[in-house]
Amino acid sequence: MLDSLTLEQLDRLQQLMDDQPYVVLTGAGISTPSGIPDYRDNQGVRRGRQPMMYQEFLSAPESRRRYWARAMLGWPRVRQARPNVAHDTLARLQSTRQISGLITQNVDTLHDQAGSHDVIELHGSLHRVLCLDCAKRSERDSIQQQMEAQNPYLAGVDAVQAPDGDTLLDAAFEARFQVPRCPYCAGERMKPDVVFFGENVAQETAAKAMAAVEKAAGLLVVGSSLMAYSAFRLCRAVVDQGKPLLAINLGKTRADDLLDLKIEMSCEQLLPLLAQRLSHL
């Protein structure tokens, strides 16, 4: 049962989204029910250790060895994650054209798995690996098989899962690790096809996201603190265009002062209720 305030907010959300479809921007909060940890707490403060920065990853083989040793142990949980009811609901709303499209900060492909189409992945996908030497891409599963074959000493090692397929692994396990080689050029500068901290979103991707926002009637943020500028700038653009900016998010967001409406409730609970209301129009 919803309290009176949440019911009132849900009524308002439905009214705002009745006329024309909004574009939806999702963050880590939509995937935590699928077992993928997020970066920040309800106050927007980063949990745990600082993630590896892009320049650090590029700077030395030791950094790439540390990254891939941890990522090899973290990948199975990402690969096994499945969409939850929030992903499924957004896919259904898109199929009925009650939302105009999806932009996600997540790198887990759960929107695609749920049936959403033309998802704009602001930060890329962990399911692909990019060679920084020859610029060719490989499937992560094939690179995972290579790493597991070359590093059998890590079989059975238990590591605590961290965001984006990372793990908390004792440094003693990293020194012997053999980093993956590119299947095309044998280069050792392999990188997950995601935007690292300190790295810019590809211009083409940023332009597609901005175009989607410009065409939509407004923007609904789902499960994001909006601390990453790549997402926050889209919110600023919506406000500058005089269109509504709405959010379903537990806790603080960077755009709290800009929001027309914010409902602090889990998205897997609220989105099905919203979809049920919109489907009755």
Question: Does 43 carry a binding-site annotation?
Answer: no
Beta strands in 17-122 (DSSP E): 22-26, 99-104, 120-121
Would you say 91 and 74 are in contact if contact means Cβ atoms under 8 Å apart? no
Is residue 123 flagged as an active site residue? Answer: yes
Does the annotation flag 7 for ligand binding?
no
* Amino acid letter, residue 49: R
The response to whether 14 counts as a known ligand-binding position is no
Instruction: Give the integer Cα–Cα distance in Å for 30 and 7.
Output: 21
Q: Give the tokens for residue 270.
A: 């609220």
User: Which residue(s) pair with 40 in the sheet?
Assistant: 46
In the numeric block, which tokens belong to residue 195? 């935007």
151 assigned ligand-binding residue: no
CA distance linking residue 8 with residue 278, whole number of Å: 15
* CA–CA separation, 13 and 262 (whole Å): 9
- Give the strand pairing for 99-104 and 160-161: unpaired
Do the annotations mark residue 106 as ligand-binding? yes
| Residue 140 near residue 126, CB atoms below 8 Å | yes
Q: Is 56 within 8 Å of 199 (Cβ atoms)?
A: no
From 40, 49, 75, select the one nearest 171 (Cα to Cα): 49
Contact yes or no for 184/136 (Cβ under 8 A): yes
Ligand-binding annotation for 116, yes or no, is no
Q: Is 235 a known ligand-binding residue?
A: no
Is 29 known as a binding-site position?
no
Distance CA 168, CA 166 (A): 7
Annotation-wise, does 145 bind a ligand?
no
Residue in 87, 111, 117, 123 annotated catalytic = 123
> With contact defined as beta carbons under 8 Å apart, do 111 and 223 qualify?
no
What's the longest Cα–Cα distance across the chain?
A: 61
> Is 131 labelled as part of a ligand binding site?
yes
185 is in an annotated binding site: yes
Residues annotated as binding site?
105-108, 131, 134, 182, 185, 223-225, 249-251, 267
Catalytic residue positions? 123
Residues annotated as binding site for NAD(+)?
105-108, 223-225, 249-251, 267
Residues annotated as binding site for Zn(2+)?
131, 134, 182, 185
